[in-house]
């Protein structure tokens, strides 16, 4: 699990570096077709907002509920609805990244407080099935990696467009 925790700790810097790769005009750009995107179909800026919301309202809550409740049902979030309702496209990227860094520190502190016995606590995760608290930590890391891949995918689309 050390590799997973290291990846979780490194993620905010990696996300910021990936986002910084986008020229300003492309931070809000969306391709005509999202076929093959490895994350949700969000612009670069929207990806940042989504990751922050999933960190706080998704994984932090899921971890706490799994610690406090017996075999809770952990619901998936409707990312597209959140993007519309919270107006992701109008967000300030630097503020979102700062908030994500803070939230990730909180998440890592929470994970660091979990005992080996607690890591075996069970939950049912909508869309994923039966899991443990340790499994949730791995799913969080997987979610991070999906969004780094989504940003790389967008950069590939931008390069393809620039070459036309």
Distance CA 15, CA 11 (A): 6
Regions of the chain where pLDDT drops below 50:
164
Which residue intervals of the chain are DSSP H helices? 2-20, 44-53, 61-68, 79-85, 93-112, 133-162
Q: How far is CA 149 from the centre of its chain?
A: 11
Q: Which domains are present in the chain?
A: 2-162 (1.20.120.450)
Distance CA 38, CA 60 (A): 23
Distance CA 149, CA 160 (A): 16
The torsion defined by the Cα of 9, 88, 146 and 7, in degrees rounded to 10, comes to 0
Backbone angles phi, psi at 152, to 5 degrees: -65, -40
The two three-digit tokens of residue 135, written as one number = 């499994």
Distance CA 103, CA 55 (A): 7
Predicted local distance difference test score (pLDDT) of residue 4: 96
Predicted local distance difference test score (pLDDT) of residue 163: 64
Distance CA 24, CA 83 (A): 20
């Amino acid at each position: 699990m050390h590799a997973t925790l290291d990846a979780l700790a490194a993620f905010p810097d990696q996300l910021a570096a990936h986002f910084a790769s986008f020229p300003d005009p492309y931070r809000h750009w969306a391709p005509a077709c999202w076929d093959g995107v490895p994350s949700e179909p969000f612009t670069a800026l929207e990806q940042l907002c989504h990751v922050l919301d999933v960190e706080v309202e998704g994984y932090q809550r899921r971890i706490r509920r799994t610690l406090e409740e017996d075999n809770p049902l952990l619901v998936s979030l409707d990312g597209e609805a959140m993007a519309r309702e919270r107006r992701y496209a109008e967000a300030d990227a630097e503020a979102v990244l700062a908030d994500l860094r803070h939230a990730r520190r909180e998440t890592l502190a929470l994970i660091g407080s979990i005992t080996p016995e607690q890591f075996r606590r069970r939950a049912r995760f909508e869309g994923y099935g039966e899991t443990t608290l340790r499994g949730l930590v791995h799913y969080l890391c997987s979610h991070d990696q999906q969004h780094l891949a989504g940003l790389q995918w967008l950069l590939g689309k931008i390069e393809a467009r620039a070459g036309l």
